[in-house]
Structure formats: C-alpha cells, structure tokens
Amino acid sequence: MQPCKAKLQDGKPCPNQVDDGQEYCFFHLADQDSKAKKKFSIATGAVAVVGLVVTGIYKVAKFVVSKKL
C-alpha cells in the first residue's frame, strides 16, 4: 500500500493509503471526481441558461419584427 499523493490544507501529506494502481486515496479520487462533476454541472447549467436566454431573445426579436412587418 502506497501513501496518497495529495496534500492537506496545512501542507501535510494525506495519511490515507491508496488502492493498487492509483496515485491518490479513494477519498481524494472521489473528491476530485466530485469537484469535476460540480464544474461540469455548472458549465452545463450555464450553457443551458445561455441557450435559454439566446432562444428567448431570438423569439422576442422575431415577435417584434413580425409585428412591425
């Protein structure tokens, strides 16, 4: 069993042991995954919001133009 490569906030090495073939302990792997998923979730959310806004603007603009014509 190898020690985890991650460092704690106080700069000390993580005391957890890693699984075979891994560089980080289960917790840090899961934590990295969780952070990545959160970023992915935020990005997806942002894209969805931007998409909705753009669609909304487009529809409003189209409505206004069709009224003028």
Partner 1 sequence: MPNKDSLVIQSSDEIISHTALPSNVIIFDREKRQKAIQILRQIPAIVDGVKKLSAGKTYQAVLPPEVWERIKDGSARLDKKGNGLFGALVRDVKAGRVVDHVDLKEVTPDLLSSLNQVATQQTLADIVHRLEIIDEKITDVLQGQANDRLAEVESGIHIYEQAVVASDPDVKRELIVSAIQKLNDGRNKLIKSIDFSFIDKLPRNRLGMFFSLNWDIPKHVQSKAEYVWKSAHAIIKASRYLVLAYSDLNQPDSLRVSLEQVKSEVKIFQDKMGEMVNMLPPTSNWRESLTAISQGVLPNIHDLDDIPQKTIVIEFQPKEIAPPEGV
Q: How many CA atoms lie within 13 A of 66 on its CB side?
A: 6
Listed ranges 17-25, 42-50, 58-66: which one lies at the site for partner 1 (CB under 8 A): 17-25
Identified binder of partner 1 from the candidate list 5, 19, 50, 53, rule CB under 8 A: 19
Span 38-67, contacts to partner 1 by CB under 8 A:
none
Sign of CA dihedral 21, 27, 29, 30: positive
Neighbours of 25 (CB within 10 A): 21
- Return residues touching partner 1 (CB under 8 A): 8-9, 14-17, 19, 21-22, 25-27, 29-34, 36-37
